[in-house]
């Protein structure tokens, strides 16, 4: 069994400044890697303070950690974020880490299967898309939702290049999503409570137009490339991970991986967002 050592660095920095951190430091550094020898993954989080975590798989892990940590340290010294006031009472047992600090560590992973290798490559493709999408736009709820809509549709596009295929397989997509979670119910104190379907309208009330614009852009009547370079790269990269025998299942599986990178770890919320997006598509089909 081969053990892979991965460098883990978490940079605690104001979320409103993440796009600058990505553009000016992380993106140039990560894109300069020899991706045959090194692989990386990028994650957003607000747990114990706003931070961006980077995992780098490298054959020279100690050298990579020292080099990367020095670059992070220099960047934070030159472009410090604003210190946040501690809100009392503290919501969790542990206090947040201070802004303008970073943690570095090493993690060991057992490389035991081809699926594991596929997961690493998919996560790297997600991270590459995040760098492309967020290095120019502030990372907030609106930009994260827009990114999710683009990526979810991009994944479905990779699985079903023709719109007619989407129409034929929409029910299969719902069935595969059900295997991850019951997307129309929530669990409260051990009881299963039906989600009010009007929540669909509330959840996407400002995004219906965006959704249908994405459909028109990704499945145009006249063949054309999407006017988003990072999304074109995502669609191209992810095609090789779509199981041609079961494209619905593999596309939904990839879609559910997106949320962890964006700091969305609530399992029900992940399935619900995907469910509502598919529901909007289904509504458009029926109309």
pLDDT at 196 over 50: no
Phi, psi of 187 (to 5 degrees): -105, 120
Q: What's the rounded mean pLDDT across residues 266-280?
A: 75
Query: What percentage of residues in the chain have a pLDDT greater than 90?
Result: 20
pLDDT band at residue 114 under the 50/70/90 scheme: very low
Cis preceding-peptide flag for 252 (omega within 30 of 0) = no
Across 180-203, b (16+ Cβ under 10 Å) vs e yields bbbbbebeeeeeeeebeeeebeeb
The boundaries of every CATH 3.30.70 domain in the chain are: 2-113
Which helix (H) or strand (E) is 158 found in, with range? helix 141-159
pLDDT at 99 over 60: yes
3-7, 90-94, 216-220: the lowest-pLDDT one = 90-94
Which residues share a beta bridge with 188?
Answer: 191
pLDDT tens figures, 26-66: 988 887 765 545 678 899 998 888 899 998 887 777 778 88
Write out the E strands in the chain. Answer: 2-12, 39-45, 51-57, 101-111, 185-188, 191-194
Fold observed for domain 2-113: Alpha-Beta Plaits (3.30.70)
Q: What's the rounded mean pLDDT across residues 242-266?
A: 87
Answer yes or no: are the C-beta atoms of 158 and 235 closer than 8 Å. Answer: yes
pLDDT winner (highest mean) among 162-166, 179-183, 226-230: 162-166
pLDDT at 158 over 70: yes
- The Cα 161–Cα 163 span in angstroms is 7
- Among 29, 207, 278, 224, CA closest to 131: 29
pLDDT at 21: 93
């Amino acid at each position: 069994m081969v053990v892979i050592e991965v460098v883990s660095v978490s940079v605690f920095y104001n979320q409103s400044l993440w796009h600058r951190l990505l553009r000016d430091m992380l993106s140039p550094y990560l894109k300069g890697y020899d991706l045959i020898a090194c692989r990386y993954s990028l994650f957003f989080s607000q747990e114990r303070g706003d931070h961006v975590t980077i995992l780098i798989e490298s054959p020279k892990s100690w050298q990579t950690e020292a080099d990367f940590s020095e670059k992070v340290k220099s960047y934070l010294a030159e472009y410090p974020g604003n210190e946040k006031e501690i809100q009392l009472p503290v919501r969790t047992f542990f206090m947040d880490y201070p802004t303008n600090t970073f943690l570095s560590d090493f993690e060991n992973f057992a490389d035991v299967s081809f699926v594991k290798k596929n997961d690493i490559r998919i996560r790297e493709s997600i991270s590459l898309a995040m760098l492309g999408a967020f290095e120019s736009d502030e990372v907030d709820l609106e930009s994260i939702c827009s990114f999710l809509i683009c990526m979810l549709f991009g994944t479905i596009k990779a699985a079903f290049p023709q719109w007619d295929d989407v129409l034929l397989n929409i029910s299969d997509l719902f069935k595969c999503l059900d295997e991850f979670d019951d997307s129309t119910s929530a669990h409260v104190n051990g009881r299963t409570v039906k989600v009010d379907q009007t929540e669909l309208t509330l959840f996407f009330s400002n995004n219906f137009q965006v959704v249908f614009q994405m459909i028109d852009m990704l499945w145009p009547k006249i063949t054309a490339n999407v006017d988003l370079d990072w999304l074109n790269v995502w669609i191209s990269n992810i095609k090789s991970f779509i199981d041609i025998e079961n494209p619905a299942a593999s596309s939904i599986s990839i879609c559910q991986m997106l949320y962890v990178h964006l700091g969305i770890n609530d399992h029900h919320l992940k399935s619900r967002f995907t469910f509502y997006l598919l529901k909007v598509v289904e509504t458009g089909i029926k109309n």
